[in-house]
């Protein structure tokens, strides 16, 4: 794959996890993640794989500042964030991170354009000049320029997921976290959606972390992080990328 992310001017990793543990329960404590060390670089395109119950989703929500670790540090753009207030975490999440889920999770009350604008509106508090244009351009670039006003319920599964990707990119985030983005789509549609993410990675320098079960998807990513039983068991980069596995395997 092509070299990506070089146009991002800020230096340093986007996210860095140091000794992150996460456990649930009070009477019976179940530890899901046992000391994760992980660094996500700017502009990279990584896959997170692993069997069911390995802690992939838990890790993804920690990375997305949707959850707090039981112990350990999480740094977003060089700043420790797990101890910040909910308000500050929400704000950082909105500005730096985008989300794509297995089910598109678009808001059915709104049109494709409105869904794409929503992160901008939610962060700014009201519509500002340029928002509508940006959302329109994003949708046009994913081939939905003629469906701006459509209710999302009238779109096909692949179209919905593409709108979800446009929405994730609306705030020009550093990193998009994608949880099984193609899991609910047929192979062909899934490939189109994947290609779209690769394209934004290449053209905009947006980093992606894709959680997937699908080995075909994983092998087309620049980096593959494998999680088993709450531990990173392998972290490989494809040969074109500056390779250096963090976890020796």
Partner 1 sequence: MPFEWWMALRFLREGRAQTALILGGIGVGVGVIIFLSALITALQTSLIERTTGTQAQIVVRPPEDEVRPLVRAVPGPGGIAPAPRIERPPQRLRSILNGTQAMAAIARLPRVTAVAPTVAGPAFALRGAASSSIALRGVEMESYSRILDLASRLTSGTARLRGTDAMIGVELAKDLGLGVGDKLRIAVPEGRRQVFSITGIFDVGNRDLNKRWVFVSLRSAQTLLGLAGGISTLEVKVDEIFAAEEVAQTIHGRTGLIADSWMQTNSQLLTGLRSQSSSSALIQVFVILAVALGIASVLIVSVVQKSREIGILRAMGTSTRRVVRIFLIEGAILGLGGSLVGIALGSALALFFASLAKNPDGTATFPVALGAGLFLRSAAIATAVGLLSAVLPARRAARLDPAEVIRYG
Using CB under 8 A as the binding rule, whether residue 67 contacts partner 1 is answered as yes
Quick one: 51 or 243, whose CB is closer to partner 1?
51
Q: How many CB atoms lie within 10 A of CB 125?
A: 7
DSSP reduced 3-state for 96: helix
Containing H/E element for 200? helix 187-204
CB of 118 to partner 1, least distance (A): 6
Using CB under 8 A as the binding rule, whether residue 8 contacts partner 1 is answered as no
Two tokens at 220? 């087309």
Question: In Å, how far are 114, 143, 204, 220, 226 from 140, measured between CA atoms?
Answer: 14, 5, 15, 25, 35
User: From residue 117 to residue 146, what is the string marking binding to partner 1 with x (rule CB under 8 A)?
Assistant: -xx-xxxxxxx-------------------
For β-strands 97-100 and 175-179, DSSP reports them as parallel
Beta carbons of 175 and 140 less than 8 angstroms apart: no
The position carrying tokens 């390995």 is 54
Quick one: 167 or 236, whose CB is closer to partner 1?
167
Using CB under 8 A as the binding rule, whether residue 31 contacts partner 1 is answered as no
Using CB under 8 A as the binding rule, whether residue 26 contacts partner 1 is answered as no
Among 3, 7, 80, 109, binds partner 1 (CB under 8 A): 109
Beta bridge partners of 16: 39, 75
Quick one: 5 or 98, whose CB is closer to partner 1?
98
Using CB under 8 A as the binding rule, whether residue 204 contacts partner 1 is answered as no
User: How many CA atoms lie less than 13 Å away from 30 in the CB half-sphere?
Assistant: 9
Q: What angle do CA 154, 206, 36 make, to 5 degrees?
A: 105
CB of 46 to partner 1, least distance (A): 20
Quick one: 167 or 223, whose CB is closer to partner 1?
167
Q: How many CB atoms lie within 10 A of CB 135?
A: 26
Two tokens at 208? 């992606």
CB of 147 to partner 1, least distance (A): 19
**DSSP at 153:** G
Quick one: 98 or 237, whose CB is closer to partner 1?
98
Using CB under 8 A as the binding rule, whether residue 107 contacts partner 1 is answered as yes
Choose one: 25-33, 106-114, 154-162, 238-246; the region binding partner 1 (CB under 8 A): 106-114
Quick one: 105 or 213, whose CB is closer to partner 1?
105
Using CB under 8 A as the binding rule, whether residue 208 contacts partner 1 is answered as no
Question: In Å, how far are 55, 78, 90, 112, 175 from 43, measured between CA atoms?
Answer: 24, 16, 22, 27, 8
Residues in contact with partner 1 by the rule CB under 8 A = 57, 61, 64, 66-67, 86-87, 90-91, 93-95, 98-99, 101, 105, 107-110, 118-119, 121-127, 167, 171
């Amino acid at each position: 794959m092509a070299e990506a992310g070089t146009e991002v001017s800020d230096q340093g990793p986007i996210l860095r996890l140091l000794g992150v543990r996460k456990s649930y329960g009070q009477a019976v404590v179940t530890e899901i993640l046992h000391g994760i060390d992980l660094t996500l670089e700017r502009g990279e395109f990584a896959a997170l794989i692993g069997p069911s119950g390995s802690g992939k989703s838990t890790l993804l929500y920690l990375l997305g500042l949707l959850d707090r670790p039981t112990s350990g540090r999480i740094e977003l753009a060089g700043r420790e964030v797990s101890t910040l207030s909910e308000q500050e975490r929400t704000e950082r999440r909105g500005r730096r991170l985008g989300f794509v889920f297995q089910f598109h999770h678009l808001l059915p009350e709104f049109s494709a354009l409105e869904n794409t604008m929503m992160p901008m509106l939610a962060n700014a508090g009201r519509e500002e000049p340029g928002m509508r244009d940006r959302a329109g351009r994003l949708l046009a670039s994913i081939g939905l320029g003629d469906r701006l006003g459509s209710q999302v319920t009238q779109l096909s599964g692949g179209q919905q997921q593409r709108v979800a990707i446009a929405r994730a990119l609306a705030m020009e985030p550093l990193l998009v976290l994608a949880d099984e983005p193609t899991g609910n789509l047929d192979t062909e549609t899934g490939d189109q959606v994947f290609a779209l993410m690769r394209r934004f990675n290449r053209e905009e320098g947006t980093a992606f972390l894709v959680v997937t079960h699908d080995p075909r998807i994983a092998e087309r990513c620049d980096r593959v992080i494998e999680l088993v039983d709450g531990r990173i068991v392998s972290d490989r980069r494809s040969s074109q990328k500056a390779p250096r596995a963090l976890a020796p395997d």
